[in-house]
Structure 1
Amino acid sequence: MNLFINATVFTGDEWLTGASVRINNGRIAEVTAAELPVDAISSSESVVDLNGDYLIPGLVDLQLYGGSNLFLNDIPASETVRHIYNSHVKNGTTTLLPTIHSTSLAIMQQSMAAVAVVRNENPLGVPGIHIEGPYFNPVKRGAHSMAYVRTPAEGELETLFSTNADVIRILTLAPEILTPEQLEKIKTLKHTNTLLSLGHSNATYQQAMAAFNEGIPLATHLYNAMRGFESREPGVVGAVFDHPSVRASIIADSYHSNPTSVRIAYRLLGERLFLISDALFANPPRPDFTLEQFVVHYEPDPNGPGRYVNNEGNLAGSAITLIDCVRIAVEQAGIPLTSALRMASVIPAEIISLGDQLGRIQAGYVANLVRLDQSLNVKGVWTLGKQIH
C-alpha cells in the first residue's frame, strides 16, 4: 500500500491542500482533505511526502503517433506500441491512443492487431487505437500522403471492420467525400466502441452541422486541416463553435494553434474542448523521419518546443507530450490550471467511456497519478499505484 501525504491534490473537480491519498491494490482507497494523524498511518504503508507538490490524475492523450524513436505507421508491431507508451508515460500520460495517419489497409490492420495485443496487457494504459484517415478530403490532407488519401475501395470497409474492430476508439474522416451509403456503412459496421471524428475536411458549415447532427460527436485538431471560419461561410470551425454538443481536440503547442486561438476556443467551447499532443516523436524529438512519401524534419525553436514539417513546409505533428500542452495552455493561452488539467484528463477519459475509472483522484478510481512541481514539471508518475518514474 502507498500513502501520499502533504499533497496539493487535484481531484478532477477541485483542489485539496495538505491532503492525503491512500492506495490499495492499484486503486485509490481514500482521499483525505486534511493532515492525517500519526496513528492513522500503518507501518505497512509506503509513505510518499509530496511537500506541497501537486498530485494530479494521470493524463489521457487521444492522439499521438510515436515515442522517442519508433513510429506506428513504420513498424506496426506490439513492440512499437509498448515503446510509444513507455516514452509518454514518464511525462505523465498514463493512458493513450496510439495513432496512425493515412496508410494502406494492410498497415491499418497490422496496427490494429498490434494495439489489440497491448490493450490486452494494459487495458487502461492503451485502450485502443486512433485511426486518422485515409478517408480525407485531399484539399485538407495536410502532411498526409496523397498516395493514401482516398475514398474506400469496394469491400475495404467490410475488411477493415472484420477483425479487431473494437480496438478502434476513434476514426477520423471527412464526411463530405463519402457517399451517404459509404458513411452509413461505416456507422453500421463499426464497433460501438468507435467514435467518429470529423477532420481533414473541407466541409461547409451546413455539411459539418449535418454530420454532427447525424452521429459524429467529435472534431479532430480544431483549426488545423479543416475549412476555417469566414463571414460568408462559417465552415467546419464555425460548425464546431455553433453546435451544442460536439467536442473538439486542439493541439496547444503554440504552432498548430496560436495561444490566442486556443483561448478563444476555450471561451466558446468550455468543457467541449480537450487537449491532444499530436506527437510524432518526443523525449527527445527525432531529427528527421522518412516513410515512403512521408518525409518530415524537426525544426528546433529557441522560444518553444519545436515542430515537425514536411518537405512542402506543412506542419506534420508536434514534438511534445500532453503535459507540455497543459503548460502552454496555462502560461501562454491564459487558461486556468483547473480547466487545462480537466482538458487533459477528465474530459478525454469521459470521451472514451473510461470516465468512471480514469481522470480523477477519488475513491475507487485507478491509481494513475502524477506529481508536478509548481512549474508543472513532472516529478513522479505512478500507474496502478506503482511508481514507474
Structure 2
Amino acid sequence: MAELILTNATVFTGTEVLPDTTVRVSEGRIESVEPTDRNGSGDAAHTIYDLRGRWLVPGLVDLQLYGGSEQFLNGHPTAGTVRHILDTHRRNGTTTVLPTLYSTSYDVIDKAIRAVREVRAEHPLGVPGLHVEGPYVNPEKRGAHSLSYVRPPDARELNDLLTAGRDVIKILTIAPEVFTPEQLQWLQRTPFILSAGHTNATYRQATEAFDNGIPLATHLYNAMRGFESREPGTAGAILDHPTVRASIVVDGFHCDFAAVRLAHRLLGDRLFLISDAIFANPPRPALDFEDFVIRYHEGRYTNQEGKLAGSSITLLDAVRNGIRHVGLKPEEALRMASTVPAEIIGLGDQLGKIAPGYVANLVVLDEEWRCREVFAT
C-alpha cells in the first residue's frame, strides 16, 4: 500500500466519530489520526486524498459468508474460490472474511481447510480462517442444510477435524444438544470458537451451554428454537444471557427489522452483523448443486422447500439496512460490522479500528452509505 494521507474525512474510529479529520498511512499501518490542518503544505512522499467530508471507516469483517458473485465454497473448495470470495466482498468494503461451509462431507471440509490455508498465506488478515457451520447440527433445525450431510458428532471425525484444521478453523457452529457433555468439554479445549446454531436446544439447555463456555450464537432467531412464553427457547436464552454474543442477518427477510431493534436493545455490542451471503455483488440468479437447489427472487434465495438459503447481501448492505430500517446510529451499525467481529476472532488489536498502529484496512463511504473507495493491505 502506498503512503497515504486521507484528509477532510468524517472518521469512525471504532469508538467515536471524528469530523474533519486526517488519517496518515505508512507501510500499511495507520500512522496518525488528527484534526485536519487546512494550512498544511502537503507531503510529497504521500498520496493525498481529499474525502470532502465523506465517512472513513474500518474495513468490515464478515464472519459468515459462503460465496462471491459466482462461486461458493461448498461447490468448489479451492484456493481460487476463496480468492473470489475475498475479491467479491472487498469491492463492497469487506476487507476480512471467514469463508464458510454449510453441512457437507469431511472430504470437502478438508479441501476447504487446505484452500483457506493457502490464501491465508497470501492475505493473512484478509482471510484469517474458516467458519465451519455444521454438520453436527440438529436435523429439526437444519434449515437449508442437506439432511444427507447433517450427522451426529463422531469422535474419530472430530479428531481428524482438529488435526487438519486446528490452525485454520476459527468458528465451528454446532447444536450443543446433539453432543455429549464429554464431547463438548473436549471441543472447548480445542482452538475452535464454538457457536450455537441450527439448534433445537431448550432455554435451559442453551443457557447451560453458554454458562459452560460456548461464547457465540449463529444468526439469531434463524434455525433455532424460538421464543415462547412458557419455553423461551434458544433465542430467549441468547437474549437473556449476560455474556453470549450473537450474529444476525439484517436483510429484511431473515428477521423483521423490529426484531433486530429489540435484540440490539438487549445485547448492545454483543450483537454483530454477518452477511450470510450465498452469492452477492451481484447475486447469482440460480444454483443447482447436489440436492441444494436455490433460486433468487425479489432479494432473497429460497430452496425447493421454500426455505431461506443464505442471503444475497454484502455486509455493507446489512450496515445500510441497520441504519435506515432498524434505526441504529451509524457508529453502532459500523461497530457491529467491524470492531466487534474483529474482537471475536482475536484480531481486535489489529483490525476494526482507525487508530495508530492498526492495519490500514479503510473504506470510504458516501452519504448514502455506498462504498466509494477501499484501501486494504
TM-score, with length taken from structure 2:
0.98
Deviation of 1:100 after TM superposition, in Å, equals 0.3
For residues 25-63 of structure 1, give each alpha carbon's deviation from its aligned partner in whole angstroms, at most 9, with x where no partner exists: 000001112335323x21121100101111000000000
For residues 112-139 of structure 1, give each alpha carbon's deviation from its aligned partner in whole angstroms, at most 9, with x where no partner exists: 1110111111110000000000001011
Alignment of 1:325-364 (within 5 A): 325-364=318-357
Give secondary structure in 1 for the equivalent of 2:272: strand
Residue in 1 that maps onto 2:58: 57
Structure 1: 5+ residue runs without aligned partners? Answer: 301-305, 385-389
Deviation of 1:336 after TM superposition, in Å, equals 1.0
Structure 2: 5+ residue runs without aligned partners? Answer: none
Alignment of 1:178-217 (within 5 A): 178-188=179-189, 190-191=190-191, 194-217=192-215
Residue in 2 that maps onto 1:121: 122
Question: Partner amino acid for 1:88?
Answer: H
Residue in 1 that maps onto 2:373: 380
Alignment of 1:1-389 (within 5 A): 1-39=3-41, 41-188=42-189, 190-191=190-191, 194-300=192-298, 306-384=299-377
Give secondary structure in 1 for the equivalent of 2:72: coil
**Matched-pair identity in %:** 57
Deviation of 1:81 after TM superposition, in Å, equals 0.2
Give distance in 1, aligned partners of 2:233 and 2:367: 40
Give secondary structure in 1 for the equivalent of 2:320: helix
Question: Partner amino acid for 1:42?
Answer: D
TM-score, with length taken from structure 1:
0.95
Give distance in 2, aligned partners of 1:290 and 1:128: 27
Residue in 2 that maps onto 1:303: none
Give distance in 2, aligned partners of 1:235 and 1:91: 35
Give distance in 2, aligned partners of 1:293 and 1:154: 27
Deviation of 1:22 after TM superposition, in Å, equals 0.4
Give distance in 1, aligned partners of 2:184 and 2:15: 37
The verdict on how the C-alpha distance between 1:35 and 1:205 changes in structure 2, with shifts beyond 3 A counting, is same
RMSD in angstroms over aligned alpha carbons?
0.9
Verify the 8 A CA contact 2:7 2:36 in the aligned structure 1.
Answer: no
Question: Partner amino acid for 2:32?
Answer: E
Deviation of 1:154 after TM superposition, in Å, equals 4.8
Give secondary structure in 2 for the equivalent of 1:17: strand
